[in-house]
Amino acid sequence: MMGFQPVILATDALIYLLVILALAFAWYTRRHAHLRAPWRRVAASRTAMGALVVIAVYVVIGLLDTLHFRPASGEDAQGHARYASEVQSVLDLLATPLVAHREKTYSAPFATHLYTRETIELPGGGQVRDFPRLKWGGAHLGDPARRAGDIAWRSAAGVALGAAAWLLWMALALRRHPGGWRAWWADPGRAPMRTAAWVWLVVLILAGLVLTLAGVYHILGTDKVGEDVFYQSLKSIRTGLVIGTLTTLVMLPAAILLGIMAGYFRGWVDDVIQYLYTTLSSVPGVLLIAAAVLMMQIYMNNHQDEFNSLTERADLRLLFLCVILGVTSWTSLCRLLRGETLKLRQLEYVQAAQAFGVGHFTTLMRHILPNVMHIVLIVVVLDFSGLVLAEAVLSYINIGVDPNTNSWGNMINSARLELAREPVVWWSLAAAFVFMFVLVLAANLFADVVRDAFDPRLRERS
């Protein structure tokens, strides 16, 4: 039996923490009416529910890519299991064919031949310069000319598979619904759920297409070293999500604590904190990030033996990038919270607490913090897409994640030179763009609805 050894990288641990926090928050929300109400407004939005399905698919892929382990690679002399040095994730396991189907170099999406001419030894001796057949892409085809028919047939099967899965899903989900699916379909209150169902249909059809096509073709082509671009794009999802969420997790404690302290205590506390964030936000963020990342790089190069594997090293660099992004981005939230706290501390219930002799810390935790949480939530959700995009920009100028980490920024970075080629290698860039665009669009749509639902001023107007 093949054993395995679970591995928890630094970012994995934080992601688990984030998941636990999210679950705790959901549990807390269920018990508090004032938190339930705005989420119910979110759930009543068709846009939000559609976007949520897309985000959920990304999150599931990202979480699958977070479950890391080392596969057993045999037994040592004492009969103890030995484990491979390279760390894998569950996603790698599921995508084994994509990992294994490695070509020599570039190939276009759905190609059967390489993108570059090579000298091919003819069986009967002699050489010819031509586009060689790919080792894996379309290898099952005896005759490459039958490719179009094969793709059409497999696509049809994929669509059918997706649709069938969707129908099965809906049948199971609506089994208990009173009045059956007809009532569900006609109920105007269920319109958001129907939107989600339609998006889910699209997702399942895409999944079906991937199942039938990705095993035998490189559906998004291959890159310079022959790696499947679709696989790279999938792996990049985790990086994007980690940057978008962990950065916030890192910066939140500082931003919240300093923000409400500045607004509540005023006086010299306010002066110090304002001075701190004004100074920090005056330094160009890119400069700070570049300096920190380069320092980190030098440290890592000088202490190579401290890291067990390349993956671990790359992961630490990713975490470090989150931290430094967090350090440069907490100021805006801090400023917002300070302003809101200035307003809240004038409110009569804060003064009533003062009249009872309630302590400062208790007042902050009981009266101020819960009443600024909506701002925190709005900012977190709005910042997410900005951070995902920031990663791409930073990696593009080589101060982002480790070059060994799959990320959309790295994909764009490595594809930029190929854009000058004739004919152009466009698919790496296009794949990164599409994956990032879908995630950011969904996140933005969702964020807009969340903001509308949580912002009390907007609520009064509607």
Interface residue list for another protein (CB under 8 A): 32-34, 347-349, 351-359, 362, 366-367, 370-371, 462
Q: Are 421 and 438 contacting, i.e. CB atoms less than 8 angstroms apart? A: no
* Cβ distance to another protein smaller for residue 191 or 352: 352
CB 394 → another protein: shortest distance, Å?
Answer: 38
CB of 34 vs another protein, minimal distance in Å: 6
CB of 366 to another protein, least distance (A): 7
Report in angstroms how near the CB of residue 370 gets to another protein at its nearest: 4
Nearer to another protein, 74 or 189 (CB): 189
**With respect to another protein, which residue has the nearer C-beta, 142 or 357?**
357
User: Least separation, in Å, of the C-beta of 330 and another protein?
Assistant: 24
Identity of the residue, 329 or 363, whose beta carbon is nearer to another protein in the bound complex: 363
Give whichever of 233 and 363 is closer to another protein, judged by the CB atom.
363
Distances (CA, A) of 143 to 38, 116, 149: 59, 20, 11
- For another protein, the closer CB: 1 or 33: 33
Q: Could you tell me the smallest distance in angstroms from the CB atom of residue 30 to another protein? A: 15
CB nearer to another protein: give 360 or 416.
360
Q: How far is the CB of 157 from another protein (least distance, A)?
A: 45
Which lies closer to another protein via its Cβ, residue 211 or residue 358? 358
CB of 46 to another protein, least distance (A): 17
Dist. CA 215–CA 446, nearest whole Å: 33
Q: Residue-wise over 335-368: b if at least 16 C-beta within 10 A, else e?
A: bbbbebbeebbeeeebeebeeeeeeeeebbeebb
